[in-house]
Amino acid sequence: MAMESPFKADILKGKVALLTGGGSGIGYELSYQLGKHGASIAIMGRRRDVLDSAVDSVRSHGIPAVGLEGDVRKREDAIRVLESTIKHFGRLDILVNAAAGNFLIPAEDLSPNGFRTVIDIDSVGTFTMCHEALKYLKKGGPGKDPSNGGTIINISATLHYTATWYQIHVSAAKAAVDSITRSLALEWGTDYDIRVNGIAPGPIEDTAGLSKLLPEEIVNKAREAQPLYKFGEKWDIAMAALYLVSDAGKYVNGTTLVVDGGLWLSSARN
Ligand code: HXC
């Protein structure tokens, strides 16, 4: 159910956003909504077909968009994709780290390489993208005035606030992501006027997160346990992102905004 945005359509006019994992799921909704509010959109992803269809779809709404193939685990891909973004749009104002890997598995069956793979995508990938984007995002960077920098959103989770069955790898990875958010907010907020925040979605309908992690038969049961008696929508995450990246959030730095209807509060008793 697509709801109308409560934000004005031009709040991101003239801005350029790069989204990793922006071709599908929550990442796609973020691409679309940032674009609908005035930003030009660069989408980074591993799969050409997913990128192509995402870019077609975003463009069909009149949003300038480009799809750039790359894997956040490869530093050279990060550098190339950022250079292409600047070549296409001349500047970078918003980086969204939405690329993630996940699967359900008991810790005793997870190989160290499986653990490392998710850390590489979620945590190291987030750091790599931020690190390589710094020169474009900082105040005085391409297209920026000398006192205003850009902003970063890291997509996280609430799994690690308590402990979550069969998610040791993702819990560790997202704990690191939250820590990266705070450290960069401190260092880069002070030095470069870059705000760095996170969003921790709860269970969101129509996403890989939900279908992979919550088998069909327990979805209805889980629904009953929701404090707000419903799952979230991708739209909810996009509205949180609009708040954080626009001037509405100009004094918000280093926080990870939980958008889960209050669900994690009840997870310690499960
Ligand atoms: C056990 C697995 C596994 C699985 C991979 N591995 N999949 N182990 N169960 N289902 C192990 C492999 O055995 C291997 O270790 C290591 O991980 C690397 O596997 P590869 O297949 O080579 O990795 P790769 O092709 O790079 O795939 C990455 C991936 C994959 C993360 C494993 O699942 C992926 O990219 N998925 C698409 C993205 C995705 O899932 N997005 C959903 C995000 S949802 P060995 O030891 O054998 O070499 C999300 C929500 C989080 O993030 C919060 C929810 C609330």
In a domain, 181, yes or no: yes
Q: Is 270 in the pocket of ligand 1 (CB under 6 A)?
A: no
In a domain, 189, yes or no: yes
Beta-strand runs (E) in 70-134: 94-97
pLDDT tens per residue across span 170-228: 999 999 999 999 999 999 999 999 999 999 999 999 898 887 776 665 666 666 666 65
In a domain, 48, yes or no: yes
- Give the residue, out of 103, 155, 226, 260, with the most ligand 1 atoms within 8 A of its beta carbon, to mutate for a pocket test: 103
Domain total for the chain? 1
Average pLDDT of the chain is 94
In a domain, 266, yes or no: no
Q: Is 119 in the pocket of ligand 1 (CB under 6 A)?
A: no
Global confidence as pTM: 0.95
Q: Which pLDDT score, from 0 to 100, does residue 221 have?
A: 64
Task: Give 44's strand partners.
Answer: 20, 68
Q: Which pLDDT score, from 0 to 100, does residue 155 have?
A: 98
Closest C-alpha to 171, from 184, 183, 157: 157
Show the domain range for 106.
16-257
CATH (domain of 59) = 3.40.50.720
Distance of CA 215 to the CA centre of its chain: 24
pLDDT tens per residue across span 24-59: 999 999 999 999 999 999 999 999 999 999 999 999
Measure Cα distances from 123 to 80, 100, 187, 227, 237 in Å: 20, 9, 18, 30, 20
